[in-house]
Structure 1
Amino acid sequence: MKKSYIRIFLSACVLGATLVSCEEGFEEMNQHPEKPTQTVPDHLYTGILDKLNYRGNACLYTYLPQTSIAVRHSTSTPLQNLDLLENRSGIDDLWKLYYEKLRDMNRLKEEMDKSAYLPEQHRNQKAMLEILEAQFALMVADAFGDMPYTEAGQGLSDDVYRPVYDSQADVYKMALDKVKAAVASLALTTETPDGDAYLDFNSNKLLTGSSDALTNFTFFKKFGNAMLIKHGLRLSKLDATAAQDYISTGMAGPLMEASTENAGFTNERARGSGDWSWARYYGPTYQPSEFLADQMVDDAADMSNIMDAEVYDPRFYAVFYPNKDGEFRILPNSPDAVAAESPYLAQAGLYPGGSNGNLPEAPGYAEYEATHSIWNRFYISSNEMPYIMISYAEQQLIIAEAIASGYATGDAQMYYESGVRASVEEFLNLEHAQNPDANPDRIITLEAADIDAMLAHPEVAYNAASALDLIRTQRWIDYINRPNEAWAMMRRTNHFNVDNDVPITNNGDAFSMVYRLMYPANEADYNTDNYVQQLSKMGGTDNVRYVPDIFK
């Protein structure tokens, strides 16, 4: 395996860091019936997809390491500050991003109801919208816990501007019921029983790369089924019966069969840029730590200088970029220890290539002064990084966990090894690298035998007795570029004992797991009564360490 330097972690930011402006409060977000839209359905749908990815400050609280400290990716401790008002801009944006989408999707449904086409022809289009709406809702419920759902987005239809909060568990079940119904409703054919055409959205090409309606219908069928398994498993701690139902429905398929079917925007369809600005401002603040390296190298490895022979996971080189001397010297987990190691030198020279963050000659470049390994920005922040909602690798590992947990039947080892193999291949995808043709010396070449060797390594080889630990560790690594998903898995499983063994703060003390984000500040102004009632359920304060139902 040739060592060079790979990608990771700002997946969604690549699609654009400029947040589309949004009015404050539910009154504006839900809109008023006297403010009609003249937009045709396809244009509305294009707008929905255009905002599918995390943007701007919302990106900071999802794809950047603000949540990753809870899963020990880096050496900083930003989560201890999430309960401070001055750090809530991303929280506000993440919240508004969902309700903005909900408003647009409700508008689109109304446009289809007024359409000259027969209602049956819109059947698949409406199913697609239900799946996307559920995807948004589940993401917000994961982050905030209880949230307005049943009454949200009803300003257009029912003049509801101050929606009540639903419990996180109810939101989960309602959203997954929508997905279940939508998957059952999706017709995998291009013609209705009466011979009319089932309508597709032209913009689905952004998701699938295809203008073929049947291809797009199948994409959403597979996406929905994978969602049922993924979020059904997440619900299992609270309601095993409901989890079993959702997982069984999803397992009936069809499901993704290769990484080419990943649910999200692939690199060739990614639009816009913007990840560089976030990486430049926040990248140096967080460094990949020993805890992460521990999951990729032999236990006896000396973290002051890791040798190639000690690396059993090829993704190691996707995460870690060497210091100025070409060494893989890893920073400790503790911020105090990092400070003692001189973090300025560890991060200096991170951007010698100018504003685009390239490292054209590093580590031999004269201005490259890093003393420790840094995030491998050659791949981490590539403008070609995809935005993924559910990947094939993730699906396979989730199915392996469902089988090992008793919620599905099948060969857990087969799904586990399939998921690991797909994850490594996706990490090392040359198309995700920054200017790979111009930088051939930095590309990692990978042979099937390299992954075979990894799967045979004692730290990775499947063992039924420790199956859940193995599967969850691999899921955790696969989620480095989506720390919000790793955060959700950690809260459900307490994998790595993270709730009791979190990286220490600057004063040397441990702090407990952050289980949710604070609500946006404007909720107190625009949805006051419901907001106050919700706080009363959490002890009277907007407590980030309050444990929502599905994570208890």
Structure 2
Amino acid sequence: MKKIYNSWFLITLVLMTLSCQDDFEEINTNSVDPTSTSVDPVFLLNSAIINTSFSNAQLIYDMGVVQQIVSPNSGVLTGANYNQDNRDVTDDHWVKYYENVIKNTGDILGQLEQEGAPSRPNLKNITRLVKALTFMILTDEYGDIPYFEAGKGIYDQIVLPKYDAQEAIYKDLIKEVREAVAGLNASAMVETGEVMYAGDTGKWRRFGNSLLLRVGMHLSEVDPALAEEIVREAFAAGVMRGNEDNYVVRHDNNYLNDNGALLNATEANNIYLVDTFVDYLLETEDPRLGALAIRYTNATSGPDQIQENGSTAAVDQIGMPMGYDNGTIGAVAENMGLASFYAFSQIDRYRVVRQAAPMFIITHAQTQLLLAEAAVRGWVSGNPADYYNTGIRAHMELMVQYHVDSEIPAADINSYLTNNPFNPADAMQQIGTQYWVACFLNGPEAFANFRRTGYPILTPNPYPSQDITGDFINRLTYPNSEVATNTSNLNEAVSRMGTDDLNTKVWWDK
């Protein structure tokens, strides 16, 4: 009897062991691991694309430096309004892009490399383009940054990446964009699940060439020969052809526009359009002012700023001057005959910065204006005036994408172009100033182009207590988290680039 029992026990044990072996891989596979092959990496790509929209640092720094918006308030809104360092804000771009874009694109590329997946070249190369776009924004904002070792925490276990010189970053960005565009293949698997262009390789190729054009133009002062080479190449390959090619992040109630979320909540009553920007649009009778702005003409407090009390008429708009705080701006408003400083013009949060408003990152309008500058320099063929007018028209025509009530009639566009013709004798200033307008709500690019070209011509912010020694902020400071945890790598970058403050210039800023 004992022998029979032992035999049955051994048979049962063998069967259980075989069963466990059959189930072992399934049981021990994390089905929700984003690096697992069970998860389509296109979902990580979509998360990366959505998070290329700008953080709130652009409201407090980038757009403040170029004098498009300002707040009289301190605390969390301290930044370009006072030309002061506020590392609770300067880290916003860094944290959002590294944690949500660079990490995800790095994971995708690591997974594809691990799998050896030649069947999805379009996924790989679209990912490379999104990654390149994001790194360009990051290095333009901060200077030297983690680049070659960044985004490799999962597959290479690099948690404290070294910082790379901006010159090396830019040269590798050129290589990455070139290779990614060349690697797009209309005959390969179409990545229809991606949220930007639904896998349309033609649009991704034109986006990549437009990105390459922007990279080239950023080098115009530091390396004109290389800049010309890159610009010619991008132009010949074919850039964006219309607003349907725009790289625009479309938000919804699940994926909110960060700027819209802020301006419709805690800071709804605290951020205003700068008089420099408003006055320029008024003087040229630019219809974009009525599409972008709102003024609560009789507001004496924040609660008075409701849509029913607002005017979007251009003639009613009054911008807030720079150089004041919440202790001094009230007297300025009173001297101007306003009910209070709450009666200065704001970005219209009911249209342009709704919580679900789109965010335009690279556009046909901006691309055409860069081509206008390139044509003036003799780097591309074509009439600068044609590129200039096409760029302005394209930007005015996309206003309707913010909201139907922001649509600019064709007749108004035609009238504006007739009354504000391109003047070859003043070409660079005109183009640079129009680029400033076309980059409204694209603070990082407006900030970059202002440093590169010096346009528009701005009077320095006169606020009395500042953390800068020159006229304007030149870069954003590194996050405190990097100062504390990646100290040695950060210090190496600082020793190479210059002091970690708002004064130090990035490599291409000559």
| TM-score normalised according to structure 1 size | 0.74
Q: 1:222 to 1:55 in 2, by over 3 A?
A: closer
1:505 is aligned to 2:463: yes
- SS in structure 1 at match of 2:107: helix
Q: Which amino acid aligns with 2:418?
A: A
- SS in structure 2 at match of 1:512: coil
- SS in structure 1 at match of 2:476: coil
CA displacement at 1:315 relative to structure 2: 0.4
Alignment match of 1:537 (pick from 491, 496, 503): 496
CA separation in 1, counterparts of 2:367 and 2:124? 24
1:70 is aligned to 2:65: yes
| Aligned twin of 1:248 | 232
Identity across the alignment (%): 24
CA displacement at 1:69 relative to structure 2: 1.9
1:163 is aligned to 2:161: yes
Q: 1:155 to 1:374 in 2, by over 3 A?
A: closer
Contact 1:331/1:373, CA 8 A, preserved across alignment: yes
5 Å-filtered alignment, 1:289-328, equals 289-298=274-283, 312-324=285-297, 328=316
Alignment match of 2:221 (pick from 237, 241, 245): 237
| Aligned twin of 1:287 | 272
| Aligned twin of 2:410 | 448
| Aligned twin of 1:519 | 478
| Aligned twin of 1:59 | 55
- SS in structure 1 at match of 2:287: coil
| Aligned twin of 1:108 | 108
Contact 2:42/2:123, CA 8 A, preserved across alignment: no
Contact 1:82/1:88, CA 8 A, preserved across alignment: no
Contact 1:148/1:165, CA 8 A, preserved across alignment: yes
CA separation in 2, counterparts of 1:149 and 1:251? 27
- SS in structure 2 at match of 1:388: strand
Contact 1:346/1:374, CA 8 A, preserved across alignment: no
Q: 1:36 to 1:334 in 2, by over 3 A?
A: closer
CA RMSD of aligned residues (A): 3.2
- SS in structure 2 at match of 1:52: helix
CA separation in 2, counterparts of 1:409 and 1:70? 33
| Aligned twin of 2:375 | 403
5 Å-filtered alignment, 1:93-492, equals 93-100=92-99, 101-115=101-115, 119=118, 121-187=119-185, 189-190=186-187, 198-204=188-194, 206-208=195-197, 210=198, 213=199, 216-266=200-250, 271-272=255-256, 275-279=259-263, 280-298=265-283, 312-324=285-297, 328-336=316-324, 338-342=329-333, 370-427=342-399, 429=400, 431-433=401-403, 443=405, 446-457=408-419, 460-492=420-452
CA separation in 1, counterparts of 2:164 and 2:214? 21
1:317-360 deviation per Cα after TM superposition (whole angstroms, max 9, x unaligned): 12332343656151452344743234899697xxxxxxxxxxxx
Contact 1:41/1:108, CA 8 A, preserved across alignment: no
| TM-score normalised according to structure 2 size | 0.79
1:219-262 deviation per Cα after TM superposition (whole angstroms, max 9, x unaligned): 21011000011121011111112212221121013322211221
Q: Which amino acid aligns with 1:340?
A: A
Contact 2:473/2:502, CA 8 A, preserved across alignment: yes
CA displacement at 1:179 relative to structure 2: 0.1
Contact 2:140/2:448, CA 8 A, preserved across alignment: yes
CA separation in 2, counterparts of 1:90 and 1:281? 15
Q: 1:370 to 1:70 in 2, by over 3 A?
A: closer
Say which one has the larger Rg: 2
Contact 2:279/2:319, CA 8 A, preserved across alignment: no
Contact 1:65/1:483, CA 8 A, preserved across alignment: no
CA separation in 1, counterparts of 2:332 and 2:367? 39
CA displacement at 1:113 relative to structure 2: 3.5
- SS in structure 2 at match of 1:379: coil
Q: When the two structures are aligned, how many residues end up with a matched partner?
A: 451
CA displacement at 1:416 relative to structure 2: 0.8
Q: 1:270 to 1:237 in 2, by over 3 A?
A: farther
Farther-moved stretch of structure 1 (486-495 vs 333-342): 333-342
Structure 1 stretches lacking a partner, 5+ long? 1-34, 191-197, 299-310, 349-368, 437-442
1:361-409 deviation per Cα after TM superposition (whole angstroms, max 9, x unaligned): xxxxxxxx95333332232212442122211111111111111122222
Contact 1:317/1:376, CA 8 A, preserved across alignment: no
Q: 1:42 to 1:403 in 2, by over 3 A?
A: farther
CA displacement at 1:271 relative to structure 2: 3.9
